[in-house]
A and B are shown apart, each in its own frame.
Chain A
């Protein structure tokens, strides 16, 4: 969905490096989410934010941090990347009271 953009789309990095993945949306939604997807597993929630001042941990937040810079921007950081953080990362947005989440195109991260 072009309304939710993620940068970079692909990234290869080395163990121990700090990485930031960025998400921007033009949907005007208050709620934003970060997920990771691994082969054979469902998407798992890392962090979510219901507005600029609200940040919540998801089920797999260890090793990750986030920043909600504005309503439209939500960044995910890996402070010290490790190989098992190699995965596909998705940002999503939703509007309160509406059921649907809208996903970005994903960032493929490889940690060597």
Chain B
């Protein structure tokens, strides 16, 4: 069964600190992996997208890694800001199935001053 599991479910950090969110997946065949940020009351917004051959990608203070062998990904946030408070969703695309996406349940990040 295609699944995406994220950990932790929730996380509280102090402003300025770094944090790492985890994503494990059992999706086959794999096409690509995306990290989305979802602010409360808004739709998800893409942060990074990685294909099978990419093992790291950055977007400002966000850096995603992908290990296709172990089927794991992480999202590292550097020097967190209050505006980073949001849900972070790991999404894996299934190859050759018309863009079918498997969504993780998200990690709820709260950045405190």
Contacts and interface: CB of A to CB of B under 8 A. Distances in A.
Q: Do A and B bind each other?
A: yes
B61 interface: no
A104 B104 CA distance: 19
A67 to B, nearest CB: 20
Interface magnitude class on chain B? 20 to 34
A42 B4 contact: yes
Interface magnitude class on chain A? 20 to 34
Given A99-B34, A100-B34, A101-B99, A42 B105 contact: yes
Interface string A99-111: 1111111100000
B71 interface: no
B32 interface: yes
A14 B24 CA distance: 39
Interface string A33-72: 0000000111111001010000010000000000000000
B46 interface: yes
Contacts of B45: 1, 103
B42 A106 contact: yes
Given A50-B98, A100-B49, A42 B106 contact: yes
Interface of A: 1, 4, 31, 40-45, 48, 50, 56, 90, 92, 94, 99-106
30 contacts: A1-B43, A1-B45, A4-B43, A41-B105, A42-B89, A42-B105, A42-B106, A43-B44, A43-B89, A43-B103, A44-B103, A48-B98, A48-B99, A90-B43, A90-B44, A94-B99, A99-B32, A99-B34, A99-B49, A99-B93, A100-B34, A100-B46, A101-B46, A101-B101, A103-B43, A104-B43, A105-B41, A105-B43, A106-B41, A106-B42
